[in-house]
Chain A
Amino acid sequence: MPRFPETPALLDAATFEAEAAAFAALGNLKAEGPATARDLLRRIERAATIAGEPVLPFKHATLYAVLHELEFDGAVAIAESGPGRRPCYVLATRGRAVLSVGQERWRSAHLVIRAAAAPTESPRP
């Protein structure tokens, strides 16, 4: 699988990747329902490929690690044990709230970055 290009060292890549993994997981749990960590990854990869971005912006291990954080924070809960006693994650109420705030933040950040990077006509004196 191709790797997402590494972020230049001056930026905190770990936090960016962890946040991306967290919101991808929360979004997918909301859209497609409960899943184990492995199934979540498969579903996110499939959705990303359909959307034309087959390279995930985080390593698979990041998603596993972030799920622990989300679980302890109450954003996701373990509903049942999946195959092979794997925990099956379900989106909790707190996770819905975190997701809606995060999606809005990422959407506006994306718009600003695109707008800022596009050439604009400078105002005439």
Chain B
Amino acid sequence: MKAKTQPDALPRTVDDYLRQLRAALNGAPPALIQDALADAEDYLREEVALESYKPESEIIARVARSFGRPDEVAAEYRAVEARFDRRIRLRERPRSGFFSIALDPRAYGGLLYALTALPIGIFYFVWVVTGLSLSAGLAILVIGVPFTLLFIASVRLFALLEGRIVELLLGQRMPRRLPSEERIKGLWPRIGAMLSGRRTWSTMFYMVLQLPLGIAYFTIAVAGLALSLALIVAPFAEMITGRDHVRFGDAGLDAFSQTPLGIVLMMLAGFLLFFVVLHVLRLLTKLHGHYAEATLVKV
């Protein structure tokens, strides 16, 4: 983390202020930087709009006293984040041991994420593919531009929504605000900036890739859970119904699975498999959280 020894000269414009704030937040989590910049821009732009008859430098100087200088604001956000991280770590203190995963709320968050990833992934994929196709198709018509702008705005909203889901279920710090945008004058330069923005395309890439990833997560979760629960429950089902529910395709193995030792081993295997599935999903979704942060956050 880069420590700033001396605060920069007081900013004179909103863009200056945001630049200094971004520099002061260097090394902080990207989502924190995005949120701090969005908050600061929201505050500064409103102050400037309220007193538009005054020089911007005068307003910024006053704001630096009430809202805080960029380095003070950065320190404030870092302090809040550090305190919050400490609380989260205390609440979710990692427990060692293979079976302790059963007490980890993030494991169940990961499981829920894996189960919902497929329908959400299908929706994202259809949305992006349809939106891109229609944007390209309508580009020669008058409604082409507003349609493309609406589509890009919707993609940004979905990025925020996905970030909230990832933070809630997977515990990865994600933005809580839409990113601040540089004020670009003119419709065409703005459209150009939106289309050339790295985040616009990385978000679409994320949404498209959610389909194959969603299929993989869903398959692992459903197949793993179904197999482990089947192995645990099958002996009871066989006792109640008197029918053979588990077949391994091998006469010797099938016969062994009917014996008391076979039944115990089968239940044990199902029990262990359940924990393995939780571990695998926890690891996969943790990695997914980092990937989501790298793809969806604008810094």
Contacts and interface: CB of A to CB of B under 8 A. Distances in A.
Interface string B78-89: 011001100000
Contact of B77 (A37, A65, A72, A84): A65
Interface in B92-143: none
A61 B79 contact: no
Given A1-B65, A1-B66, A69-B80, A64 B178 contact: no
Contacts of B177: 87
Given A1-B65, A65-B77, A38 B46 contact: yes
B62 A65 contact: no
Contacts of A73: 84
B92 to A, nearest CB: 13
A86 B80 CA distance: 21
A59 B74 CA distance: 12
Given A59-B68, A61-B72, A18 B43 contact: no
B67 A59 contact: yes
A86 B45 CA distance: 12
Given A1-B62, A59-B68, A86 B42 contact: yes
Give the size range of A's interface with the partner. Answer: 20 to 34
Contacts of A72: 84, 167, 176
A37 B176 CA distance: 14
Interface of B: 35-36, 39-40, 42-43, 46, 62, 65-68, 72-73, 75-77, 79-80, 83-84, 167, 176-178
A3 B83 contact: no
A68 B66 contact: no
Interface in A1-39: 1, 3, 14-15, 18, 37-38
Contacts of A62: 68, 76, 80
A85 B38 CA distance: 11
Nearest to A68: B176
B166 to A, nearest CB: 13
Contacts of A15: 79, 83
Contacts of B76: 14, 18, 59, 61-62, 65
A92 B80 CA distance: 20
A27 B175 CA distance: 26
A85 B178 contact: yes
Contact of B79 (A1, A14, A71, A85): A14
A14 B177 CA distance: 23
Interface of A: 1, 3, 14-15, 18, 37-38, 59-62, 64-66, 68-69, 71-73, 84-87
A119 B177 CA distance: 51
Contacts of A66: 80
A84 B180 CA distance: 12
10 contacts: A18-B76, A38-B46, A59-B73, A61-B40, A61-B67, A61-B73, A65-B39, A65-B79, A68-B80, A72-B84
A59 B83 contact: no
Contact of B66 (A60, A69, A84, A85): A60
Given A60-B43, A72-B84, A87-B177, A18 B79 contact: yes
A59 B75 contact: no
A125 B73 CA distance: 54
Contacts of A69: 80, 83-84
B275 to A, nearest CB: 29
A38 B42 contact: yes
